[in-house]
Amino acid sequence: MRVIYAKYLSGEDIPVYDFAKKRKLVKYYTRETMAAIVAVSKLYEGLTVGQDMPFFYSTGEVEMLQFYKNIATQYATVQSEFSSLGFIEYILPTISPLEQFKMMRNMTACFVSIENGLKGDNAVLLSSASGLLYSALFAQTDGPVLIGAGKQYADGTVECGFAEIFRGEIENHPMLNSSGDAITLFKNSPFIDHGDSNNRI
Site for other proteins, rule CB under 8 A: 25, 28, 51, 55, 59, 61-62, 64-66, 68-69, 71-73, 75-76, 81-85, 87-89, 91-92, 95, 97, 99-101, 103-107, 109-111, 113-114, 116-128, 130-131, 134-135, 137-138, 140, 154-155, 177, 179
Least distance (Å) between residue 193 CB and other proteins: 25
Task: Tell me whether residue 147 or residue 201 sits nearer to other proteins (CB atom).
Answer: 147
Least distance (Å) between residue 39 CB and other proteins: 18
Task: Tell me whether residue 85 or residue 197 sits nearer to other proteins (CB atom).
Answer: 85
Angle between helices 107-116 and 31-43 (to 10 degrees): 30
CA atoms within 13 A on the CB side of 149: 27
Contact 29, 37 (CB under 8 A): yes
CA distance 163 to 193: 10
CA atoms within 13 A on the CB side of 128: 16
Least distance (Å) between residue 199 CB and other proteins: 28
Q: Name the residue among 56, 18, 51, 55 with its Cα closest to residue 34.
A: 18
Task: Tell me whether residue 156 or residue 192 sits nearer to other proteins (CB atom).
Answer: 156
Task: Tell me whether residue 54 or residue 201 sits nearer to other proteins (CB atom).
Answer: 54
Q: How many CB atoms lie within 10 A of CB 43?
A: 21
Task: Tell me whether residue 36 or residue 201 sits nearer to other proteins (CB atom).
Answer: 36
